[in-house]
Structure 1
């Protein structure tokens, strides 16, 4: 299993979460978990708990003898949650750690779940009995499916479909009965948290088909129904992170306004649960995902999370220096968010004449921050030249700004890559802090502005500039896309 290192933003988590100490301690101090795994010998296993869906924190190790026996033991009780016994080259075994911390397990590497036997832990007995029963249903369904592939006549297909439907009903009935019989167990909570909302039959849309929008809205509105925000043990499972990830990144439109609304909804649920560890992890995880988001223009959620929860003290932190550093990062990002009017850099052209950003008349202005000696900048320069030449006089201007090196290096770069048709700028007086004023942490950094100098794109990959501008034109109903000679020539050849 891969270990993922915690990020810098981990410093924004309270120590109680990082140390993963459960407030619900075992009935007696200490733990002793005795294990036997057939097919394993003469190695070392690690006992660890989840921290989110992709990280785990080791709590103990045990030497496996020649007969496959091991013992995890400690004088201090373990934090409660979903644990892993990491087995070298064999994967891992999941165990529920709750109040019963003196128990044993016996399994086989050939079939870890089906062979699992538990003694001394009711939670783990339920956890594996459920999986074993559903596993049998799955095996039966696979067997029927194989027969269905071999006999595809109408009568056989109808019979097999009925058998599959009956099997599904049995599985659903078993699941419902299990949850009814064990409503307060951690095992039941985990299974409920991992399940999908059951969507009732949808009303018909105007076309006579089930209303897909209604289905989506119902699913989203009931997404959190079976998740217990009051149970801190979920911090030490993969389910809290996974559900936040799905809700925020897959069920929410990736624009700042929508993201902020839904993030606040999830955080409010965590606050209502009245468990600080759940609240802290929820705030931390959402914040961490949008400092360097995969979807351009969504950094606004990162700014919002910091200002609403960290800066106000709703989220207490373990490292004040990290809080200060992230605050400085937010201050750099905020003026450069998509939708903001870009500040005018204090730069001059090759004749040392001041360049006024607001005086550039163009439907789209591309700001290309670069370093004359940057390898990626040099790789991007030929494409940038083509863009400049192709779109000159056609509503697009490029302001190329060298953020460092000498004026001589800057002019050499312009000449080498023939960027004379661009508006070339340099900070002769060293008045700009490009890093903190314009969020230029790497080069090249590309902004695209509209005619009013509002930021349409920030940190756009250089190779995507033309596609982005053409997309913006289409969005605005501007069909004058004949400014792309390559496409025009291709059309003429046809």
Structure 2
């Protein structure tokens, strides 16, 4: 005879086990906020930076200030915040994804030092660290105003004491998400640098060490790092301050960063997007080549999954930009001048040629035209010429613009046959758009404000003179 009782019991155990597992994947976060009754709160996490917030749950505090966030669906790990009404204040929480049921009690008078944690070692560590930091900072603030040798000695002792405390906390809690976050938020520690022959510190060694260890604390394989405020500002600082702003150097570091992030699909996708986006319209002259490289290697190759429509737009942009990068020879361009004669960019005899693509109806172009005229008048004796090119096709508006802003002495060009797509052919997405060419019509700068032309040319000519 079959033992149905035993079978039913095993099924019941299995169901209970599955139910327990499913419930364990949920969350329950209880916060008691003294001084905030009958108020609505939002629970969410950061997303790569301190300015991006992803809400995950909402709840309302009772008359005693207790608010409970609860759900059966797992929350992703990260650095969470409980936002107060009106976003005036917030409570930060470590959510490792392992401690899913815990409580915090705070007083609105001091959210850091008043916090009491139940059921979360991660948050106990986090808030003990904050209390220690706040106590030291408060004492240092008082000592700074005294400005005496004794006060300075005491400040040094406080800083060294906190450093020792931090080092001990990190060593004793290796493997916790809190320790990982504290490391991520800090700069790498630099050992004593070697001395040069003159006895001074080798600053290049310091720089190279700092850059080489800049990402040591980041575990890109951990998806939780995406839900913290550290990744984007750290990436921005890396490329802005530690990478030489020339295409070869940027491309080398871009590939290095993508490789680091490849252990995490989301981190890799964001890293590729971030770097690519920074160099489509970059702040540094000549670095658009990075965008073309990233677009080819990661998007058009199929390595990054994008729709056919997006890939098509990227391919069109690459086709436009590849011949308009710094150090490329500007493509042939022949237009008509106000007298009806043909004028060609390649035929302009000048040490430097400034191409000013404008639209006669564009407000910014009207503001830029007098600045351009003043630049030309000041520099024309130095072998610098300017070609002003209308991207619109109204003949009367073009002639009126030239006359109004006294540009007759410049070389003026107009697409009389209405055959040129200035956007696709010359990457004129907005007006005015400026290119600067050398004597051989090689592009030496592109897309800079008209106010910066003179400073750039002075810098460029000095750089060329140093090479001679």
Calculate the TM-score normalised by the size of structure 1: 0.84
Residue of structure 1 in register with 2:218 after alignment: 227
Deviations 1:127-178 (A, max 9, x none): 21222223223333334434x42xx3xxxx1x44443333233212211211
Residue of structure 2 in register with 1:180 after alignment: 171
Question: Which aligned pairs between 1:302-451 and structure 2 lie closer than 5 A?
Answer: 302-317=291-306, 319-451=307-439
Residue of structure 1 in register with 2:113 after alignment: 114
Q: Say if 1:389 and 1:421, in contact at 8 Å, map to a contact too.
A: no
Q: Identify the range of structure 1 (132-141 vs 444-453) with the bigger mean alpha-carbon deviation.
A: 132-141
- In 2, the alpha carbon distance for the partners of 1:467 and 1:284 equals 32
Q: Identify the range of structure 1 (294-303 vs 172-181) with the bigger mean alpha-carbon deviation.
A: 294-303
How far the C-alpha of 1:401 sits from its partner, in A, is 0.5
Question: Which aligned pairs between 1:192-211 and structure 2 lie closer than 5 A?
Answer: 192-211=183-202
Residue of structure 2 in register with 1:460 after alignment: 448
Using a 3 Å threshold, how does the CA distance of structure 1 residues 467 and 220 change in structure 2: closer, same or farther?
same
Tell me, which stretches of 5 or more residues in structure 2 are unaligned?
1-20
Using a 3 Å threshold, how does the CA distance of structure 1 residues 204 and 438 change in structure 2: closer, same or farther?
same
Matched, 1:56 2:53: yes
Matched, 1:43 2:39: yes
Q: Say if 1:235 and 1:278, in contact at 8 Å, map to a contact too.
A: yes
SS at match of 2:112: helix
- In 2, the alpha carbon distance for the partners of 1:144 and 1:414 equals 65
- In 2, the alpha carbon distance for the partners of 1:292 and 1:46 equals 36
- In 2, the alpha carbon distance for the partners of 1:83 and 1:310 equals 33
Using a 3 Å threshold, how does the CA distance of structure 1 residues 223 and 337 change in structure 2: closer, same or farther?
same
Alignment match of 2:74 (pick from 43, 68, 77): 77
Alignment match of 1:31 (pick from 18, 27, 31): 27
- In 1, the alpha carbon distance for the partners of 2:360 and 2:412 equals 12
- In 1, the alpha carbon distance for the partners of 2:333 and 2:354 equals 13
Corresponding residue pairs, total: 443
Residue of structure 2 in register with 1:142 after alignment: 141
Q: Say if 2:334 and 2:345, in contact at 8 Å, map to a contact too.
A: no
Q: Say if 1:287 and 1:301, in contact at 8 Å, map to a contact too.
A: yes
Matched, 1:239 2:230: yes
Using a 3 Å threshold, how does the CA distance of structure 1 residues 62 and 325 change in structure 2: closer, same or farther?
farther
Matched, 1:286 2:284: no
Question: Which aligned pairs between 1:92-107 and structure 2 lie closer than 5 A?
Answer: 92-97=90-95, 98-107=97-106
How far the C-alpha of 1:361 sits from its partner, in A, is 1.3
Using a 3 Å threshold, how does the CA distance of structure 1 residues 40 and 334 change in structure 2: closer, same or farther?
farther
- In 1, the alpha carbon distance for the partners of 2:355 and 2:144 equals 58
Using a 3 Å threshold, how does the CA distance of structure 1 residues 314 and 418 change in structure 2: closer, same or farther?
same
SS at match of 1:398: strand
Tell me, which stretches of 5 or more residues in structure 1 are unaligned?
1-24, 479-494
Residue of structure 1 in register with 2:88 after alignment: 90
Residue of structure 2 in register with 1:3 after alignment: none
Using a 3 Å threshold, how does the CA distance of structure 1 residues 367 and 89 change in structure 2: closer, same or farther?
same
Using a 3 Å threshold, how does the CA distance of structure 1 residues 410 and 90 change in structure 2: closer, same or farther?
closer
- In 2, the alpha carbon distance for the partners of 1:393 and 1:90 equals 60
Using a 3 Å threshold, how does the CA distance of structure 1 residues 162 and 391 change in structure 2: closer, same or farther?
closer
Deviations 1:205-247 (A, max 9, x none): 3442112121111111111122212111101111121221111
Residue of structure 1 in register with 2:257 after alignment: 266
How far the C-alpha of 1:55 sits from its partner, in A, is 1.0
Using a 3 Å threshold, how does the CA distance of structure 1 residues 40 and 302 change in structure 2: closer, same or farther?
farther
- In 2, the alpha carbon distance for the partners of 1:243 and 1:363 equals 42
Using a 3 Å threshold, how does the CA distance of structure 1 residues 365 and 57 change in structure 2: closer, same or farther?
same
- In 2, the alpha carbon distance for the partners of 1:89 and 1:387 equals 49
Matched, 1:166 2:157: yes
SS at match of 1:132: helix
Q: Identify the range of structure 1 (440-449 vs 384-393) with the bigger mean alpha-carbon deviation.
A: 384-393
Find the structure with the greater CA-based Rg. 2
- In 2, the alpha carbon distance for the partners of 1:235 and 1:162 equals 40
How far the C-alpha of 1:425 sits from its partner, in A, is 0.6
How far the C-alpha of 1:89 sits from its partner, in A, is 4.5
How far the C-alpha of 1:364 sits from its partner, in A, is 0.7
How far the C-alpha of 1:346 sits from its partner, in A, is 3.4
Matched, 1:253 2:244: yes
Using a 3 Å threshold, how does the CA distance of structure 1 residues 64 and 331 change in structure 2: closer, same or farther?
farther
Q: Say if 2:193 and 2:202, in contact at 8 Å, map to a contact too.
A: yes
